[in-house]
Structure 1
Amino acid sequence: MKIPFKATLVIACSTLLLVSCSRKKDKFINRNFHAVTAEFNALYNGYIALEEGRKSLTDGYADNYWEVLPIERLQISDEVMLPGQSKNENFTRAEEKAVKAIQKHSITIAGKEKNPQIDEAYLLLGKSRYFDQRFIPALEAFNYILYKYPASDKINQAKIWREKTNIRLDNDELAIKNLKRLLEQEKLDDQDLADATSMLAQAYLNTKSVDSAITQLEIASNATKKNDELGRYRFIQGQLYNELGKKDSANYAFDKVIELNRKTPRIYMICAEIEKIKNFDYEKGNKYELLEHITKLEENRENRPFLDKIYHQKAAYYLQNQSDSLAITYFNKSLRTNSTDKILRAKNYEILGDMNFDKSVYREAGNYYDSTMTSLDLNTKPYRIIKRKRDNLEDVIYYEDIAKVNDSVLKLVNFSKDERVAYFETFIEKLKIKAEKEKAKAEAAERNNSGLATVNNQLGGAQTQRNGTPTQAAMFYFYNPTTVSYGKNEFVKIWGNRALEDNWRWSSKGNSASNDNLSTDNLIATASEEEKYDPQFYISKIPSESKVIDSISKERNYAYYQLGLIYKEKFKEYELAKSKFQNLLKSNPEERLILPSKYNLYKIYEALGENAEATIAKTDIVSNYPESRYATILTNPESASDKDENSPESLYEALYSQFEKQEYVDVVSKSETYIQTFDGEQIVSKLELLKATATGRLYGIEAYKEAINYVAVTYANTPEGKQAQDIETNVLPKLTSNEFVKENDSIANNYKVVFKFENAKKEQIASFQKDLDVALKNIKYYTLKSSVDVYNPTTTFVIVHGLKNAQVAKTFNQLLTKEDKKKITASYFAITSTNYQIIQIYKNLDAYLNTVNNSK
């Protein structure tokens, strides 16, 4: 009897299973079979995939605690995905499971869904699309729940997720309206209430309604059951109170975060502590208690991952209390933690740069600003601010280096023989100590490398030894300090000190200081082992010729003058500027620098309120230089404004107008005069560039190259010098071919007719052009115009433009009427636009005319 019973039971169960699989019957068994199968199969696996994807997003998201945090930790990517692609495979899997549950377990009868799990499937579908940042499809899924399942127990969640999606789509006003209506009409459970109010707070933040956002965050904080959300909401509240200037309320919110301790991510607690420290009142508060509190945070082992932030704040504390040396120590400690917070690194570097700048240590400040820029995003406002600071330091670093080196050289020149020997013996002793330290370090590094290679050999066994990999790794060039040092010295010996930049091998990229080869670094690099420790080697390099010494002195004095101007005009460092100008006047400067220096000193005395010194300087200028422009300015300021007709700016403008009129000879001549007159002033580099351009227009590319190179090297740190360098690097190399293009109508379709005048007066050329313009108007079928071009100091061209055919251009006179032919009797030649450009650049008109005549 047992066997028939078992068979009957199996048959009955199979029949029941087959009957329950149908999605076309609204039966108890059918509904519950599909509901259970959907919930514990597709949806279960789908939510597991969703949580895995969500966790990976959270782990990969880095909050910026220097700004108000977003409510939800979700990194929005600008990457455009093609249809069918996904940013995260977990969300794709979750979406597939949701779709599977809908397709295989939906029971739709008479337009109504009978499976209570299908609304959950659509909710999973919307969430997976939301986290995959496909917000439009996600919105469709949430709206489908609201349309199709109005009685669902998930309806409130669907409404909240729909508004989250609207916020991501920048529909903040709509989200605020819908969420407020939801809160008014429905009594939400604790977590749903927290989700709704937190999203409403985000919408308020997006619309700059900070007070309303704080109110909603308070509700969300009290309603949420998740401690990580609670810590985040309270911390954001504190940030918002700080934005409003309500420090007491902010500290209260931060205290709530700190009270959570280990219940919430520790980063919230640490940042809350730091924000409270930032809000400390240094005038009324107990500074010693604050320092003790920061030190406890620093010494707590649990806070080791956050030492970068703690060190930075401790440095800020010392900086606030004028303990600069301790502040520098802790800023550097913060940097040595290798923090992943780019903004923190940038702030550390910037503050250190500012501190050096305030101390007038400009080279160090420049290095720190360089490091700051590496931690900032390009083309952002903070980056541009730091770059502007760094660019302003270029000139001062350049001239300070020249002044420092030249002062040292001139100091040695003035030493007696005994003083020179004593100086270099002391220098050599320091050099020996340094060499011993470097040798010890190199030996220690070599021992470490050898030990590592031995360990690798032991671990790798015979096969590793046969391959020879450890030996090669240990002997790799950059792992050996000795070979690296040798390589550096060889580079300096061959190339000198070169900046890390494009085209570093160009001669113009080298240091322009004439005494650069006298610097101790270069001397050490070029010296043999015996010479390096011999005082006489260095003494022999001290210049003795009066011509060389005078050159070094002049270069040093010019550097002093430029530094005085930079400190006065750019940085408003009047004391520094005063010392530079005073040192210049004591150093037997060239005549051209004396008067401008005295005038600048007068202006500095005025700015510093040193009226007695200002009066003395004014009397000196007026008495000893009565005919000068400076004396005129001091005695009659109203008639000698910066924009008078004799000011450098006005003269430059007038000269530029002449340049535009092609009066190149006058431009070159007057530029030379003005350069002598205003030598040492900022206008000189402009005049030099204008002169170089006019020279090129008159004498061709070779003269232009020479003139541009002079500007690029002599005025390297001015905008005009940099422009000249750009021309030399990027423009001139492209002008290498002076070969004429074959004149063929199939190739060239733009021709000019050129009338050549030798040593003609301006009136003669103007009269001819007037007659030519009248004749051109009488020519039918062509729209022609004329212009005048200077070819060289003695030759001028009158040109006809607008001809498209070589034969017509060559027989131009046949286009003229009989009356016009009587007036236009000058000889001419036809030329393509390309060849005309070549003869103007290379000044090879004779070569072109010979080519044309030979081709005939």
Structure 2
Amino acid sequence: MAILMALLLDGCSAERKNVLSKTYHNTTARYNAYFYAKKRIKEIEAVLKENVDNDYNNILRIYPEIDSTLATTYQEKIDDCIKKASIAIQRHKNSKWVDDSYIFIGRARLYSLDYVNAIETFKFVNTESEDDDARHEALIRLLRTFVDYQEFENAVAVEDYIKKEKLNKQNQKLLYLNQAHHYQVKEDYNKMVSNLVLAAPLLKRKDGKGRIYFIIGQIYQELGFDAEAFNYYRKCLASNPEYELDFYTRLNMAQVTELGKSSDVRAARKVLNSLLKDSKNKEFKDKIYFEIAEFELKQGNRDKAIDNFESSIASSIGNQRQKGQSYLRLGEVYYDTLRSYELAQAYYDSAIQALPQDFENITSIKARQQVLGEFVKNLKTIEVQDSILRLSTLDSAAITAKLNSYLDEQAEKRKEQQKKEERKARRTQASAFNSNTGISSTGWYFGNPSAVALGQSEFKRIWGERPLEDNWRRSIKESVQSLNVNSTPTDVVENTDVANGQTSANIDAGANLNALYREIPFSEDAKQESLNKIEAAYYALGNIYKYDLEEDVNSADAFKTLITRFPETENKPEALYQLYLIYKELNNEEYNTYKNELLNDFPNTVYAKLIANPNYTEESTATNEKLKKIYEKAYGYFTQENYDTTLYILNDAIENYEETVFTSRLKLLKILVTGKTEDINLYQYQLSEFIKSNPDSEVAPYAEELLTASRSFLERKRKRLGTEYVKYLEQSHYLVYVYELKSGLTDAISQAIDNYNGKFSGLNLKTSNLILNDELAMILVSDFENKIDAFQYYSDFIKSDPIDEAKRNSKFYKFVITKDNFNIFYQSKDLDAYLKFFEKNYINGIN
């Protein structure tokens, strides 16, 4: 018995490598610590799978995205997995599950976003393990970690290495999936699909084989290979996928079915309609309507497409992403096809509210929304201001009649819109009660929290946020606020529902007739203010049509209206130039009219010079427009006080683009950066040099204003504080010789000083002339390395008196000064203050 116990104890030793010891530790590790570590990994991956946001309108992700918020929900499982795997490693060192336990630790760290330690763990297994399969798995998981950590060069290096190794089937499958994940992140869909095609035969149903077939089909559909896409969608269905994936597979199959004849089109319609009628697809109705709309667009049935997009929106109960996409597609139809920008703007606004922030191209969608917002705002400004100007020409009785008619019309529109919204709300609510949400269609409404939440959501959508008070539907508060005497038409426009043309402040006729009346401009000043707004709006519309909407004809109409209605507008030269460019590009001889008018009436403007100068080609004009965009970008960083980035952008543009009339603006902005970051004297010097170099620039007057303001500021500061000089004197010095301008001694003094400096040839001294003010000039002798050398020269100069001041009919002032103090002296012109400083710190303070 004692011998048996000894053998058992010997077998339990973690250091032993005999058969008994290995069998014990392999068994104990596998069915204890290793078992629970593996279980935790599976639980974590299940959480990730449950929380994946499957956007079937885009190519599905191979692996779910991991964010820090989600990672915190399974942190306990992460810790327990690492703990259990560590036990297997520490207590069973000679078991075959040690490498696998390390790999579990690496995976747990990857899922917790601890990329650095995950990388180190996988590298350790690759370096220390004697099991090739374990090493290969660690390298393949290292590849994914590098991709998620965005270390793509390292990911490529791992790929290049692992391709040379001989892998088992499990690792081959994992490698193909991880490489496909890499190429999905890099958006290289050709390489992504080639890896998935290799992985698919190795997959089992539990690996998500149907999902991979679906992704392959999506990629082939994206790349335009509809036949291949159809084939893989069919394979996905054959794998018996879960219902949601099955539904989207059938939907996509309808999209890629070859439509060669009218019978094929009818067959595709039949498939889509059958999906719509299937009771199991109630929760997918919004998506089905969306796909029907896309199908009808491809067939050229725009009206049917619009109706189905609207049905998709009405059917979207909880799917904000799908609702946002339907709004977006309607906006694109009205923008790109119908050129109905007011309606497009309304749909883009709704799309931005519904779409998630991670939606593809969300930045460009927001940019178009902003452009449309500006467009509609200016359009409404013209409409509102023209209307109230017309009213100002009528008598009070006619005005009252017009306003009452307008208010009645708005009230009627409001009623009609309200009925429409109520019908829509009832349909939406009915859909919610009949959908597979678990909400019963019977029972008391307020006893059902889900129904109440839905009702609250619909109320806010229709009526907005309302305080809990009596008469909440009355409009007097909003309407008076939006139409008070201090409001602007822009304020009214911004409170306008573009889709139906009515103001959002539901105007009460009796209460707001006077408020509307007060908006009418009766005085000449008020009329001029309205005209100024119209003028600015036409100018803005011309540029929006030209550069944002790329509609040259409409841009020309806006600019022509501008110069016709406002012949004295300050923007006339630019408008003539734009008309010249537009009609020249359209090969319309009318461009000569605008060219001649610009050259004759505004010959000194930059626009006339652009036409007259043969060096300005169409390419330079394009460069000019690029520089405008670069300037906007640089100015954005300037306003954020990010001056290093601003300078980088400006220097790059100035160096790499040919100089145009717009370049001076970039140079001036660069000087403004100097004003924020450097000495004020350097700032003023650069401004004065800019004014000299760019006398004809449009921004030259502004530069002069900046220079004047800066000098005034320093002068006020000097008067308030007095001139303060720097007391640090251990630096380079000048000798300054000041004399009266009226003496006419400039040449004589310069020659005398040059002759005197000949005695000091070893110092390599230089002389220069400067004007100090209207009465005094000066000559500088530079440079002296330090205070001692400068003052020694000064003392010798005084004794020698090379100018022979006794024979000159002028006042003279001589002193030495540091470079820093010279900048202060030259800026302040305060000679008396420096002479006192010189007396104190040099004459009386010299060592």
Q: Which amino acid aligns with 2:212?
A: Y
Q: What pairs up with 1:399-418 in 2 under 5 angstroms?
A: 399-415=378-394, 417-418=396-397
Alignment pair present for 1:745 and 2:724: no
1:321-379 deviation line (CA, Å, top 9, x unaligned): 5555665566577678487787994795486267347656657766766777786879x
Instruction: Give the length in aligned residue pairs.
Output: 721
What's the offset of the Cα at 1:139? 2.7
CA contact (8 A) 1:755 1:797 kept: yes
Check 1:320–1:164 CA distance in 2 against 1; reply closer, same or farther (3 A cut). same
Q: What pairs up with 1:372-521 in 2 under 5 angstroms?
A: 382=361, 385-386=364-365, 389=368, 396=375, 399-415=378-394, 417-430=396-409
Q: Structure 1 length as normaliser, TM-score?
A: 0.61
Alignment pair present for 1:231 and 2:214: no
What's the offset of the Cα at 1:412? 1.6
Equivalent residue in structure 2 for 1:96, among 83, 86, 93: 83
For 2:542 and 2:29, locate their aligned partners in 1 and report how far apart those are by CA, in whole Å: 82
Alignment pair present for 1:46 and 2:37: yes
Check 1:368–1:741 CA distance in 2 against 1; reply closer, same or farther (3 A cut). farther
3-state DSSP of counterpart to 1:119: coil
CA contact (8 A) 2:573 2:605 kept: no
- Partner residue in 2 for 1:549: 527
Which deviates the most, 561-570 or 843-852? Answer: 843-852
- Partner residue in 1 for 2:702: 689
Check 1:194–1:623 CA distance in 2 against 1; reply closer, same or farther (3 A cut). closer
- Partner residue in 1 for 2:433: none
For 1:33 and 1:632, locate their aligned partners in 2 and report how far apart those are by CA, in whole Å: 91
For 1:359 and 1:696, locate their aligned partners in 2 and report how far apart those are by CA, in whole Å: 52
Check 1:767–1:411 CA distance in 2 against 1; reply closer, same or farther (3 A cut). farther
Q: What pairs up with 1:16-55 in 2 under 5 angstroms?
A: 34-55=25-46
- Partner residue in 1 for 2:107: 130
CA contact (8 A) 1:334 1:348 kept: no
Which deviates the most, 563-572 or 120-129? Answer: 563-572
CA contact (8 A) 1:356 1:365 kept: yes
Equivalent residue in structure 2 for 1:316, among 290, 294, 298: 294
- Partner residue in 2 for 1:583: 561
3-state DSSP of counterpart to 1:93: helix
CA contact (8 A) 2:143 2:159 kept: yes
Q: Which amino acid aligns with 1:47?
A: K
Which deviates the most, 93-102 or 283-292? Answer: 283-292
Check 1:697–1:305 CA distance in 2 against 1; reply closer, same or farther (3 A cut). same
What's the offset of the Cα at 1:425? 0.8
Alignment root-mean-square deviation, CA: 6.8
1:152-171 deviation line (CA, Å, top 9, x unaligned): xxx64664454333454445
Check 1:269–1:756 CA distance in 2 against 1; reply closer, same or farther (3 A cut). farther
Runs (5+) with no aligned partner, structure 2 = 111-116, 147-153, 426-443, 449-464, 497-502, 625-658, 672-682, 842-847
Check 1:699–1:316 CA distance in 2 against 1; reply closer, same or farther (3 A cut). farther
Q: Which amino acid aligns with 1:95?
A: I
CA contact (8 A) 2:200 2:213 kept: yes
- Partner residue in 1 for 2:545: 567
Check 1:278–1:123 CA distance in 2 against 1; reply closer, same or farther (3 A cut). same
Q: What pairs up with 1:82-93 in 2 under 5 angstroms?
A: 88-93=75-80
3-state DSSP of counterpart to 2:520: coil
Q: Which amino acid aligns with 2:727?
A: D
CA contact (8 A) 1:68 1:236 kept: yes
Check 1:654–1:217 CA distance in 2 against 1; reply closer, same or farther (3 A cut). closer
- Partner residue in 2 for 1:506: none
Check 1:314–1:546 CA distance in 2 against 1; reply closer, same or farther (3 A cut). same
- Partner residue in 2 for 1:465: none
- Partner residue in 2 for 1:139: 122
Check 1:96–1:249 CA distance in 2 against 1; reply closer, same or farther (3 A cut). same
1:513-570 deviation line (CA, Å, top 9, x unaligned): 8x9899999xx99999997344x66446533334543453355345434533553455
For 1:70 and 1:518, locate their aligned partners in 2 and report how far apart those are by CA, in whole Å: 43
For 1:352 and 1:416, locate their aligned partners in 2 and report how far apart those are by CA, in whole Å: 42
Q: What pairs up with 1:648-797 in 2 under 5 angstroms?
A: 686=699, 689-696=702-709, 739-740=721-722, 743=725, 745=727
1:169-204 deviation line (CA, Å, top 9, x unaligned): 445565466467535xx6x5xx67644654576678
- Partner residue in 2 for 1:182: 166
Q: What pairs up with 1:359-378 in 2 under 5 angstroms?
A: none
CA contact (8 A) 1:740 1:835 kept: no
What's the offset of the Cα at 1:799? 8.3
CA contact (8 A) 1:49 1:90 kept: yes
CA contact (8 A) 1:745 1:805 kept: no
1:765-791 deviation line (CA, Å, top 9, x unaligned): 999899999999969999999796898
For 2:561 and 2:824, locate their aligned partners in 1 and report how far apart those are by CA, in whole Å: 52
What's the offset of the Cα at 1:229? 1.9
Q: Which amino acid aligns with 2:234?
A: D
Which deviates the most, 394-403 or 38-47? Answer: 394-403
CA contact (8 A) 2:105 2:118 kept: no
3-state DSSP of counterpart to 2:31: helix
Runs (5+) with no aligned partner, structure 1 = 1-7, 107-112, 446-451, 457-475, 498-510, 675-682, 704-734
Q: Which amino acid aligns with 2:568?
A: E
What's the offset of the Cα at 1:248? 0.7
Check 1:102–1:45 CA distance in 2 against 1; reply closer, same or farther (3 A cut). same
Check 1:199–1:696 CA distance in 2 against 1; reply closer, same or farther (3 A cut). closer
- Partner residue in 1 for 2:674: none
3-state DSSP of counterpart to 1:414: coil
- Partner residue in 1 for 2:649: none
Percent identity, please.
16
- Partner residue in 2 for 1:57: 48
Which deviates the most, 770-779 or 542-551? Answer: 770-779
For 2:660 and 2:194, locate their aligned partners in 1 and report how far apart those are by CA, in whole Å: 63
Q: Which amino acid aligns with 1:122?
A: D
Q: Structure 2 length as normaliser, TM-score?
A: 0.62
CA contact (8 A) 1:43 1:101 kept: yes
Alignment pair present for 1:222 and 2:201: yes
CA contact (8 A) 1:143 1:162 kept: yes
What's the offset of the Cα at 1:423? 1.2
- Partner residue in 2 for 1:731: none
3-state DSSP of counterpart to 1:97: helix
CA contact (8 A) 1:88 1:132 kept: no
CA contact (8 A) 1:20 1:33 kept: yes
For 1:226 and 1:54, locate their aligned partners in 2 and report how far apart those are by CA, in whole Å: 16
What's the offset of the Cα at 1:252? 0.9
Q: Which amino acid aligns with 1:253?
A: Y
For 1:758 and 1:492, locate their aligned partners in 2 and report how far apart those are by CA, in whole Å: 67
